[in-house]
Amino acid sequence: MGKLISDQLSLQIGQKNILHKVSLTAHDGELIGLIGPNGSGKSTWIRAMSSLLPYHDGKVMLKGKEITSFPPRDIAKMISYVPQSISLNFDFPVRDIVLMGRHAHVPRFGLESDKDYKIAEAAMHKTNIDHLANCYVNQLSGGQLQLVFIAKVLAQETDILILDEPTSSLDINRQLQMLELVKQLTKEGITVIAALHDLNLAARFCDKLVLLKNGEVLATGNPENVLTADHIYKSYNVQSAVRYDPLIEAYSVTVLTH
DSSP string, 24-52: EEE-TT-EEEEE-STTSSHHHHHHHHTTS
Query: What is the rounded CA–CA span in Å between residue 69 and residue 65?
Result: 7
Q: Is the pLDDT higher at 253 or at 139?
A: 253
What separation in angstroms does the CA of 169 have from each of 67, 103, 179, 187, 197? Answer: 30, 26, 13, 25, 12
Q: Is 118 exposed, middle or buried (0-12, 13-18, 19+ CB in 10 A)?
A: exposed
Look at residue 87 and tell me whether its pLDDT is greater than 80: no
Query: Rounded CA gap, 24 and 190, in Å?
Result: 17
Is the per-residue pLDDT at 85 higher than 80?
Answer: no
CATH 3.40.50.300 intervals, the chain: 1-78+159-168+188-258
CA distance 205 to 164: 15
Query: Which string of b and e fits 162-201 if b means at least 16 CB within 10 Å?
Result: bbbbbbbbbeeebbebbbebbeebbeeebbbbbbbebbbb
Model confidence at 91, pLDDT cuts 50, 70, 90, reads confident
Residue 86 has pLDDT above 80, yes or no: no
Q: Which residue from 45, 42, 41 is spatially nearest to 53, judged by alpha carbons? A: 45
Output the CA torsion 138→139→144→148 (10° steps). Answer: -50
Read off the pLDDT band of 80 (50, 70, 90): very high
pLDDT band at 207 (very low <50, low <70, confident <90, very high): very high
User: What CATH number belongs to 1-78+159-168+188-258?
Assistant: 3.40.50.300
- What is the average pLDDT across 75-86? 89
pLDDT band (50, 70, 90) for residue 170? confident
What does DSSP say about strands 191-195 and 31-35: parallel, antiparallel, or unpaired?
A: parallel
Amino acid residing at 112? E
> Is residue 204's pLDDT more than 90?
yes
Q: What is the mean predicted confidence (pLDDT) over 173-186?
A: 91
Model confidence at 258: pLDDT above 90? no
Query: What gap in Å lies between CA 99 and CA 122, rounded to an integer?
Result: 11
Please check the confidence at residue 88 and state whether its pLDDT lies above 90.
no
Reply yes or no on whether the pLDDT at 14 is more than 80.
yes
Task: Centre a 10 Å sphere on the Cβ of residue 254 and count the other Cβ atoms it contains.
Answer: 11
Split at pLDDT 50, 70, 90, the class of 121 is: very high
pLDDT over 70 percentage in the chain: 98
Give the end-to-end CA distance of the chain in Å, rounded to a whole number: 41
